[in-house]
Amino acid sequence: MLTDATYFAAPELAPARHLQRAGQWDTALAIVPDTPEGRLLRADILVDRHFWRLDPVQDALAAVDAIRTAHPEAAEFLTGQLEYWRRLQRPDAPAIAGDPVDTFKALAADTRFGGWTGFWYGVALELLNRDHTGAAAAYTRVLEEAVSRGDLLLESYAVRHLGSLAYDAGETERAIELMERSYDLRAALGARPQIAAAQAALAHVLGDSRRAARLRSAVSATAEELGLAWLK
């Protein structure tokens, strides 16, 4: 995801951005203006939609290609996300780009991305390279940056993945605490796809309990409504 402060500060983009966060990608795309900033937002929305729905990647790739000349670093970042997701979810599909770990590492110091490249570097280390030590260090740096910037969504991603690492290390209480924080942050922002993902992660660490069952039920309903393919 590209940052609002850097890329989407124009007020006319705010309605589409809010719809994107609510998981209403198609409605958001219908109102994105055909301007340089609007084309950048369109690419971001289509990459985001692909991430959650696992729809055909061609629309997202075409939208990213359309911004490559004007915004080469943003296009590289979004392409890296698409390649990361291909490797994780569809490893038999044709490659989209080079190693996402290298892509995100190269962009991690670019302040225009507000810490999001650092997060993606961490998640690629964790889930592609299985480097949990490197991922934990990356998430810790991202958490510090998110708090300093007041970026609650980025904070929610950092603590959610730190919670997952804590759970894998046998620190269940710490994992629950971090997962609760992630869930609360996403709920405060109205980020519905992310809320469903946080509910699923929290239910996993809570184990077999009534609350976990209620969370899974909520995840199922949201996933069905918004078409969240990997949460169904």
180 within a domain of the structure (yes/no): no
227 φ, ψ to 5°?
Answer: 75, 40
- Residue ranges of alpha helices (H) inside 54-94 are 58-67, 72-89
109 within a domain of the structure (yes/no): no
51 within a domain of the structure (yes/no): yes
Series of mean pLDDT values for 10-residue runs along the chain (232 residues): 73 93 97 93 97 97 97 96 96 95 94 93 98 98 96 97 98 98 97 98 96 98 97 92
For every residue of 5-45, which 3-state class applies, written as one string? HHHCCCHHHHHHHHHHHCCCHHHHHHHCCCCHHHHHHHHHH
60 within a domain of the structure (yes/no): yes
232 within a domain of the structure (yes/no): no
Q: Could you tell me the residue range of the domain that residue 93 belongs to?
A: 1-98
pLDDT score at 109: 87
Whole-number percent of the chain with pLDDT over 90? 92
Q: Which amino acid does the sequence have at 152?
A: L
89 within a domain of the structure (yes/no): yes
1 within a domain of the structure (yes/no): yes
pLDDT score at 212: 97
225 within a domain of the structure (yes/no): no
pLDDT score at 124: 98
Domains of the chain: total = 1
pLDDT score at 179: 98
